Structure 1
Amino acid sequence: MAENEPLPLLLLNGPNLNTLGLRQPDVYGSATLAEVVRDCERLAAELGFGLRAAQTNHEGEMIDWLHAARGQVGGIIINPGAWSHTSIALADALVIPEVPIVEVHISNIHQRESFRHHSYVSPLAVGVIAGLGVRGYEYAVRHLVALLAPPAADA
């Protein structure tokens, strides 16, 4: 990494998101996770940032990735899936990297079952994007870049 190059963004997806495009397309749309990642990588690069992406169905693996992210990434975009509503351990791990976090949900979790209305992740996030489909990931990239990019020098 060059001296003035910003730290990359980390895009994490939790359980069942590997089935994007197949599972409940009426709720989650037809885009695959590979397409979402590709589009986010392209956008981040256009905006001068790298992007690392990973998905897991194993909570401990996600927590290990967050521990390893400390000092290695500038910000985190996370769609924790169902862990949003159940995992205090994930919330505790999200404090460790000490970087801005944007929580993304493809569906509007507030229009769904009542157990989905609470997120352990949301209080840790600088922003929460829900219900905007996979476009929410693009908005998350743009928001983190706006937070992390150095201000433009006066002309």
Structure 2
Amino acid sequence: MDAETLEIRTIEVTPNAAGDASTLPDLLAQVPADERITRVGGDGAYDTSKCRAAIAARGADAVIPMRRGGQPWTTDAPGVDARNETLRAMKRLGRTIWKEWSGYHRRSLIETKMRCFKLLGERVASRSFDRQITELKVRAAVLNCFSQIATPHTIRVA
């Protein structure tokens, strides 16, 4: 989701057994390579080497808090240095100040938008998995249209 426009940019539908972190590389791959991604945010579940590597490959900053009791990574892989720097900042500033400083709370806007997505229906009507995916993508498109219609445009009048 684009945090500026609150537009749903990508969607990945998975079975219940799949975790959120395992889908992040696929979500990032859905954004065209010529479009710049500046920041990727998520909760502590996304604090994995696979997610960090996918974010680093797109040249984006990861705004992901460490899990409680997180330790520095010693491997030499993409995104490790940024993660270890985040860990040092969280230890130095504290978790609450780090969240303010990093813009982590921007996620609350996205969580609110996901609540709106769920208001369009908690369940899917389709029975086959392929049709469920289509149904959810249609819901996302409808919600994007609602967002464009309802977004105020402020113009300064002199």
TM bucket (normalised to shorter chain) is 0.3 to 0.5
Q: Which has the higher contact order (CA 8 A, sep 6+)?
A: 1
User: What's the TM-score once normalised by structure 2's chain length?
Assistant: 0.36
Q: Which has the larger radius of gyration?
A: 2
Pick the structure with more helix per residue.
Answer: 2
Pick the structure with more strand per residue.
Answer: 1
User: What's the TM-score once normalised by structure 1's chain length?
Assistant: 0.36
